[in-house]
């Protein structure tokens, strides 16, 4: 950054245009760089009055470090400058507004969309966690959208800006703050995990867990010892429910750890859409084709399933329409072959199916029907409610049939795009229920 300069003159390289918003500590403007490129940026103006001298010096040191941070899901800090009144942060411009506005415009998000957003947040947090950087002020207003890509903003600054002002009145929104932060006890990086839980809850149910009609009601909910519960009738997957309740544990010592969070099956960073998705998918499918040609059906099926778990995110990641369409066609071919192999493997040895060579791989959580739902979404075939109900009812049927082995044929007239063979399993239940759905 440049040294202190006289007033706004220190921003001589930029033309400030509209005011985007203002908070307790800062005001944000859209601006353009005064060069031929006319690059759009966001300029965050932090008032020095909100910081004591030590905090300000530490913040400037931290900003210098943050200038080197490069991550696809973190808003890039391009530069910083300061004068006698303010610190100016020159930030990457995100055209899609913030996550708060996105949620409000849609009320609630389907679980598959909430999960993709969560994966992006988790990916950025993992990167920061490895660098020993905490956010401490995670909320939908601090998560920006650039297309369908989420980017974390305002990290690294919150630790210098106490949530309490001089009169010990709470600043900012306590809706997203961990109870240990609001109750003014000791707090650490684990508050970020609570905030992630609140954000996931809000994307799924349209309101934060502590949403209240008055500050008194809010304070009562925060200070209560009552465990967080999901809304009555909430229809979310078992993994999603497990993660929500473990993130929203009032006690930071029993809350899910960062390591457990990054490895959680609902977060599933291994299969999040990324630049690597296609490479992983192609590598696995080549091995699948080889095993298929060699007649090793179970091994080929396992590899096709693994490849599809990377192909679906690869389709989401691809932005070019033509390449997206080619991918879809390829994936449909692999799904068809996986269906054939699944039927063949099952008929080879239906009774001792769970002892089949690669059954543990084949029967991993995230059955093929889930992938087909994702493919449906990409191919524009929408009957999500019915499909969700379909999966839920099959899960309940499996519970009822625990301890028995059964093979059912189901006519999928309601799911023309999902004519598939799917295998569902339940943790702790040794028997499997094989469901074959076909277009008759």
CB-based contact 438:407 (threshold 8 Å):
no
Q: Give the pLDDT confidence score for residue 87 in this predicted structure.
A: 85
Using CA atoms, how far apart are residues 84 and 409, in angstroms rounded to an integer? 75
Q: Give the pLDDT confidence score for residue 24 in this predicted structure.
A: 64
| Structure token digits, residue 165 | 């002002």
CB-based contact 295:272 (threshold 8 Å):
no
Q: How does strand 14-22 pair with strand 143-146?
A: unpaired
| Residue 33: Cβ within 10 Å count | 15
Q: Give the pLDDT confidence score for residue 47 in this predicted structure.
A: 82
| Structure token digits, residue 384 | 């999500």
Q: 19 - beta bridge partners?
A: 29
CATH 2.130.10.10 fits 277-394, yes or no: no
404 known member of a binding site: no
Q: Give the pLDDT confidence score for residue 158 in this predicted structure.
A: 58
Output the CA–CA distances (angstroms, integers) from residue 92 to 44, 129, 192, in the order listed: 11, 21, 23
Using CA atoms, how far apart are residues 237 and 234, in angstroms rounded to an integer? 10
Q: Which of the residues 137, 154, 192, 268 is marked catalytic?
A: 137
Write the DSSP assignment of 146-203 as a string of letters.
ETTEEEE-STTTGGGS-SB-TT-PBPS-GGGS-HHHHTTS---TTHHHHHHHHHHHHH
Q: Give the pLDDT confidence score for residue 159 in this predicted structure.
A: 59
Using CA atoms, how far apart are residues 178 and 193, in angstroms rounded to an integer? 9
Domain boundaries, the chain: 7-92, 99-266, 277-394
Using CA atoms, how far apart are residues 153 and 77, in angstroms rounded to an integer? 9
Q: Give the pLDDT confidence score for residue 82 in this predicted structure.
A: 84
CB-based contact 298:356 (threshold 8 Å):
yes
What residues of the chain score a pLDDT lower than 50? 1-9, 167-168, 351, 353-354, 356-440
**Residues 7-61: tens digit of each pLDDT:** 344 577 888 888 887 766 678 899 998 877 788 999 988 888 877 777 777 777 7
The CATH code belonging to domain 99-266 is 1.10.510.10
Write the DSSP assignment of 359-392 as a string of letters.
HHHHT-SS-HHHHHHHHHHHHT---HHHHHHHHH
The CATH code belonging to domain 7-92 is 3.30.200.20
Question: Is 137 known to be catalytic?
Answer: yes
């Amino acid at each position: 950054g440049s040294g202190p300069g006289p007033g706004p003159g220190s921003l001589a390289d930029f033309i400030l245009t509209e005011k985007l918003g203002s908070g307790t500590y800062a005001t944000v403007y859209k601006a353009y760089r005064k060069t031929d490129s006319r690059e759009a940026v966001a300029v965050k103006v932090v008032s020095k009055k909100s910081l004591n001298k030590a905090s300000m010096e530490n913040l400037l040191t931290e900003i210098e470090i943050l200038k080197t941070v490069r991550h696809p899901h973190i808003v890039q800090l391009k530069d910083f400058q300061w004068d006698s009144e303010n610190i100016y942060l020159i930030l990457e411009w995100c055209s899609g507004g913030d996550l708060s506005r996105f949620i409000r415009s849609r009320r609630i998000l389907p679980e598959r969309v909430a999960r993709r957003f969560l994966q992006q947040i988790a990916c950025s947090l993992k990167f920061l966690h490895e660098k020993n950087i905490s956010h401490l002020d995670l909320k939908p207003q601090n998560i920006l959208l650039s297309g369908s890509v989420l980017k974390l903003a305002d990290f690294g600054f919150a630790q210098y800006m106490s949530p309490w002002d001089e009169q010990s009145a709470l600043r900012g929104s306590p809706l997203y703050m961990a109870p240990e932060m609001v109750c003014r006890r000791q707090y650490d990086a684990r508050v970020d995990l609570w905030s992630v839980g609140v954000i996931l809850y809000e994307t799924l149910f349209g309101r934060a867990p502590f949403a209240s009609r008055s500050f008194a009601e809010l304070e009562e909910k925060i200070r209560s010892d009552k465990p967080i519960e999901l809304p009555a009738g909430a229809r979310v997957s078992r993994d999603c429910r497990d993660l929500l309740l473990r993130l929203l544990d009032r006690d930071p010592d029993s809350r899910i750890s960062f390591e457990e969070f990054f490895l959680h099956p609902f977060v599933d960073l291994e299969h999040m859409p990324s630049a690597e998705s296609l490479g992983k998918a192609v590598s696995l499918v080549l091995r699948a084709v080889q095993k298929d040609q060699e007649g090793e059906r179970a091994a080929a099926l396992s590899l096709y399933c693994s490849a599809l778990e990377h192909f679906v995110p690869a389709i989401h990641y691809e932005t070019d329409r033509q390449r997206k369409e080619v991918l879809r066609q390829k994936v449909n071919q692999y799904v068809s072959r996986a269906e054939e192999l699944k039927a063949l493997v099952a008929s080879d040895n239906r009774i001792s199916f769970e002892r089949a060579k690669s059954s543990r791989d084949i029967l991993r959580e995230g059955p093929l029907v889930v992938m087909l739902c994702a493919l449906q979404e990409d191919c524009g075939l929408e009957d999500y409610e019915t499909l969700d109900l379909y999966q839920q009812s099959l899960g309940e049927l499996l519970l009822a049939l625990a301890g028995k082995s059964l093979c059912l044929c189901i006519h999928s007239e309601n799911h023309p795009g999902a004519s598939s063979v799917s295998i569902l399993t339940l943790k702790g239940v040794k028997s499997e229920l094989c469901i074959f759905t076909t277009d008759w």
